[in-house]
Amino acid sequence: MLKHKKLIIACLLILLPLLDSLFIPTAFGLQWHNAKSMYLLSAYMMPIKLILVTIGGFLLASHGHPHYDEPRVWYAKLFDISFFILAGIQFIVLAIISALYLVVGTQADDYQQQGNISVYTSDVGAFGKATHYFSYQCTDKNGFYTLTPIATLDWLGSFTFSEKANTLIIKHDDHSGKGEQIKPIDISGFGCKY
């Protein structure tokens, strides 16, 4: 019975980090406080996932069947080998991502928040074109938020934004020689229901 519990724990330690990384939004889709906090939480969880997968792999490797002289059925061997390979692949990927976070740092500066307006800038400094995603954030009394997209804008250069009289005012300078520009966006249709 102890061997079965050990196997179940090993499988959970391998599968839960995989599910969080592949199929569910950041940190199991929690959406608490704001997008930047959730991004940082997911970045800080990378080494924790790495430790969990490592422990799961060691538990799986130390999991033997109780009767060593009896042959194991083919599906039990396949199960163990499949999970061990899955743990190995996860270990490599999580170790690389954790090392990159240590060397390069996180992209937390790509998230900005002022009042109910949240901005995420993607592809900063990459070969592609940077894009700014402006969203309206509503937070309930327990701290959980929802984001409603307002606008998606191409690279603005250095920019600031504020909310005045149901208008999102974006001041930006894309360094194209035009100087500071102002881009107003009507947000009168956005609001929180709770």
- 180 and 162 in a single domain? The answer is yes
Q: Which long-range contacts (CB under 8 A, 24 or more apart) does 103-106 make?
A: 106/39, 106/40, 106/43
Domain range enclosing 49: 2-103
**DSSP H helix total and E strand total for the chain:** 4, 7
**pTM, 2 dp:** 0.74
Burial class of residue 90 (count of CB atoms within 10 Å of its CB; 0-12, 13-18, 19+): buried
Q: Which residues contact 97 (CB under 8 A, 6 or more apart)?
A: 46
> Helix, strand, or coil here: 131?
strand
In a domain, 192, yes or no: no
- 34 and 85 in a single domain? The answer is yes
Orientation angle between helical segments 74-103 and 35-62, nearest 10 degrees: 140
The pLDDT of residue 67 is 45
- 16 and 83 in a single domain? The answer is yes
Among 81, 103, 125, give the residue marking a domain's end.
103
The pLDDT of residue 56 is 92
The pLDDT of residue 34 is 84
**In order along the chain (194 residues), what is the average pLDDT of each group of 10 residues?**
79 89 73 85 90 92 60 77 91 93 84 89 71 90 89 85 88 76 86 77
Domain count, the chain: 2
- For residue 19, the surrounding DSSP H or E stretch is helix 2-22
The pLDDT of residue 128 is 66
Based on C-alpha coordinates, what's the Rg of the chain? 23
The pLDDT of residue 194 is 64
Question: Tokens 């499949």 — which residue?
Answer: 82
- 115 and 98 in a single domain? The answer is no
The pLDDT of residue 33 is 82
In a domain, 191, yes or no: no
- 61 and 145 in a single domain? The answer is no
In a domain, 194, yes or no: no
The pLDDT of residue 124 is 62
The pLDDT of residue 190 is 84
The pLDDT of residue 110 is 85
Q: How far apart are CA 115 and CA 43, in angstroms?
A: 24
